[in-house]
Amino acid sequence: MSNDLVSIIMPSYNCGRFVRETIESVMAQTYSNWELLFVDDCSTDDTETIVRSFDDPRIHYYKNEHNSGAAVSRNRALREAKGHWIAFLDSDDLWLPEKLEKQIHFMYENGYRFSYHQYDEIDEASQPSGVTVSGKRRVGKFDMFSCCWPGCLSVMYDRDYIGLVQINDVKKDNDSALWFKVIRKAPCYLLEENLGRYRRRKGSITPSALTKRITAHYTLFRVAEEMNPIGASFWMCMNVVGNTWKKIFYVKKRNNS
């Protein structure tokens, strides 16, 4: 396995409560050849102070001129990225120390260009909720359009092969908009190992109510994919089915007691 640079894309808005722990999980990686592209979307808390307190030249801090949303922030970070590999980590989630090393090895060993892995869910206090999320071993274009299989913190792709990815400005599910672009170039493969911690918290931009989730999926296809209303409605319905299937068969709740 070579020592190619990994560009880590991290948009953030008012995550000062969590961002130190998140960045520390990056700095704890056993694979050290990375750059962290942190885009602050005009946070009003102490996010900037915390990020700038890390004395590490691999961490690059950018601040948007106006509060613009995660899609614009991710686009900016992707334009700045110099790595062979692109990885994603939101500023309240966590990686396990061997995440990068194991995922890069998995992709090199199998010749994959796009991959994701399993992860656990945690609460606002970083305590495990007992939920583990997995997925299909191979995700093609139809699969990805039908259901958002990868968690953002689990994705890695080969930028040299995929190229620069930019998405339209959608306020929710913009990570799915990215995967729609990448899946056109390469299928996505599951590394069956738990390498991350996804934080469930109040006030997250991820919509919780069923009606809001359905509306967000319609907007995703209508705006991000520029589909007509019929096409957007079709894939919105497919997502209701696909995400229900995922929740039943690939989201496992265990007893922590």
Separation CA 214–CA 217 (nearest Å): 5
Burial class (CB in 10 A: 0-12, 13-18, 19+), 5: middle
Confidence at residue 209, expressed as pLDDT on a 0 to 100 scale? 67
Task: Report pLDDT digits (tens) over 86-107.
Answer: 999 999 999 999 999 999 999 9
Confidence at residue 214, expressed as pLDDT on a 0 to 100 scale? 85
Separation CA 218–CA 227 (nearest Å): 10
Segments in the chain below pLDDT 70: 1, 203-210, 255-257
Residue 188 has φ and ψ, to the nearest 5°, of -110, 130
Provide the β-strand partners of residue 252. Answer: 132
Q: Is the pTM of this model over 0.85?
A: yes
Confidence at residue 207, expressed as pLDDT on a 0 to 100 scale? 47
Confidence at residue 208, expressed as pLDDT on a 0 to 100 scale? 54
Q: Which of 157, 197, 200 shows the shortest CA–CA distance to 178?
A: 157
Q: Which of 81, 49, 53 shows the shortest CA–CA distance to 63?
A: 49
Question: Going from the N-terminus, what domains does the chain have, and what CATH number goes with each?
Answer: 6-253 (3.90.550.10)
